A = this chain, B = another copy of it.
Amino acid sequence: MWNTGAAAEQASDGYTTIFREATRLFGERGYTGTSMRDIAKAVGMLPGSLYAHIASKESLLFAIIEGGVDRFNHALDDVRATSDDPRVLLREAIKAHVRVVAENPGRTLIVFHQWRYLGDENRARLLDKRARYEHFFTETLRAGVSAGVFDAGLDARMVVFGLLGALNWTPEWFSPDGPATAGEIGEKLADALLNGPLIRADPTGG
């Protein structure tokens, strides 16, 4: 009877296993498309037994989303420490975002889309955390415009919506099996987003 159970499950306890399988299933089938029986089957329990570990289906969704948003916000805390230059901050924020997405694209899709299924209170808490994340981009852009390194002629709201939209769409196409690392993708995506494809008229005529 030695070395069975916990070891075979990679030392995951009941809650951890439930959390992991629920994340996978919510990502694949959606929250409303996943039943507690699906989760129970995936973790090898009977449906009623799940409730020895969790309070409700919604509490599970909330834990998944909140944990995901927290990773994004913590990544920004590291970014803030890297520089005072808004150009560097924005580039590092893009790279950090891609890194967090790359950790678990499926979880990120849940974070971005399935907060709609939370009850009023949980949804409000989540949207507050997401607003904090988005605020960094708005403020960094504003600082860069003031410093004269970002284009003051652009609509700031559209720049931020465009940037965040591009970033929030990354889990739709990022593949952990692709040849490029998250770091390489982050660099190239930052180049593309910060510069835009358009070549300006060159005042030297060259």
Contacts and interface: CB of A to CB of B under 8 A. Distances in A.
A194 interface: yes
A77 B33 CA distance: 36
Chain A binding site: helix, strand, loop or mixed by DSSP? helix
Interface residues of A, number: 50
Interface in A97-141: 113, 116-117, 141
A85 B14 CA distance: 60
Interface string A160-183: 011111111110110000000000
9 contacts: A30-B30, A149-B198, A151-B197, A162-B192, A165-B166, A166-B166, A169-B169, A194-B197, A195-B196
Interface of A: 29-33, 87, 90, 113, 116-117, 141, 144, 148-151, 153-155, 158-159, 161-170, 172-173, 185, 188-189, 191-200, 202-204, 206
Contacts of A150: 197-199
Contacts of A159: 192, 197
